[in-house]
Amino acid sequence: MAFFLYIAFKGVDFNQVLSILSQLSIGWSFLFILSFFTSHFIRALRWKVIIKSTKPDASLLNLFGATMIGYGVNSVIPRLGELYRGFFAGKWENISRSIVLGTIVVERIIDILALGISVLVSVLIYKGDLYNELLWLKSTVIVGFVGIFLIILVLILLVQLKEKFYSLIIKFVGKISTKFAEKLADVFKMLIDGFSTVKGFNNYLLIILYSILIMLNYGLSAQLGFYVLNLENSFEVSYSMAWIVMTISAFGIIIPTPGGTGTYHFIAISVLVGLFFFTEEAASAYAILTHTVSTVIFIISMFLFMGYINNRREKMGLPKESFYSVIKGGKTE
């Protein structure tokens, strides 16, 4: 993290960066935050569709709250938020932990696939040769698509031949360690349960629609970030340009650093300076603003949603949940 922050801001005039940040627009800031929340609300809607066959009446509030908690935790400890998102949702909705975590794996597969397609769109709409400008991009996209294809293929085989897989795991891995074999079998069960929750042609269409809306809204948020800093007055800003910045910068979020700190800044600044001829100071101000706002919102929302939902549950005679209680135990079958 520190290394990427160093190379991202090396040689940047921070007095000028602070000057740009001090001129932010309150009106555009409100729209930026609204767009930010909209993206994650749509994520909760998509999650509700994925989990529908297991819990048709799952509370959208609980799923939205668990989503924001997950991102809040990820802002501090990479990837741990995915577990906490599942733990809280499982507790609040009384759903099998393996099923909930399985649905999150399915969501991440969909997200990576959506990002890959979005990058291809960026390649098409960029005026130059994006693969030539970013030499690492083409190989990354190819590896990503191949990886997703293999994962989906394995999941389909797991669903179709789950009993045989269970038997093979217990038989062969059990010779080395019975406990490890049982844990590995639980992981396969989690993947199968999550993948099996998506049923029905209409649900598939809704998942695709929500995934498109999520990406489109991410692009809008990226564009609004420029308006917050009034950068459209000094540089050429458009939705297509913001879309390209958003899709390429997303790789900085995928790299496991706390909330993409450092990696996001490095890639976002590199794209803005190298592809769209922003000054390093303007690009740095944009990266700092968008990352800081998202991180602060995630962390504040995490505690607000946890407090509100727990108070609501207490009034209904249900137990409150904490970071400790959701780990301690939960419905597993």
pLDDT tens-digit series, residues 153-199: 877 776 677 667 667 766 676 667 777 766 666 667 666 766 777 77
Burial degree of 111 (CB within 10 A; 0-12, 13-18, 19+): middle
**Looking at the domain assignment, is residue 320 inside a domain?**
no
Q: What is the mean pLDDT of each run of 10 residues along the chain (333 residues)?
A: 86 95 95 96 96 89 97 92 94 87 88 93 94 91 87 73 67 70 69 72 92 97 97 95 96 86 94 96 97 95 96 94 83 47
Read off the pTM.
0.89
**Looking at the domain assignment, is residue 183 inside a domain?**
no
In whole angstroms, what is the distance from residue 272 CA to residue 268 CA?
6
Predicted pLDDT at 329: 60
Domain count, the chain: 1
Burial degree of 194 (CB within 10 A; 0-12, 13-18, 19+): buried
**Looking at the domain assignment, is residue 192 inside a domain?**
no
**Looking at the domain assignment, is residue 182 inside a domain?**
no
**Looking at the domain assignment, is residue 166 inside a domain?**
no
**Looking at the domain assignment, is residue 324 inside a domain?**
no
Tokens standing for residue 221: 């948020």
Which residue in 293, 321, 100 sits closest to 189, CA to CA? 100
Q: Give kind and range of the element (H or E) at residue 85.
A: helix 80-93
Predicted pLDDT at 259: 83
**Looking at the domain assignment, is residue 155 inside a domain?**
no
**Looking at the domain assignment, is residue 14 inside a domain?**
yes
Tokens standing for residue 323: 């970071």
Predicted pLDDT at 173: 66
In whole angstroms, what is the distance from residue 302 CA to residue 221 CA?
20
In whole angstroms, what is the distance from residue 307 CA to residue 68 CA?
12
Predicted pLDDT at 115: 93
Structural domain for 32, as ranges = 2-97+106-135+200-313
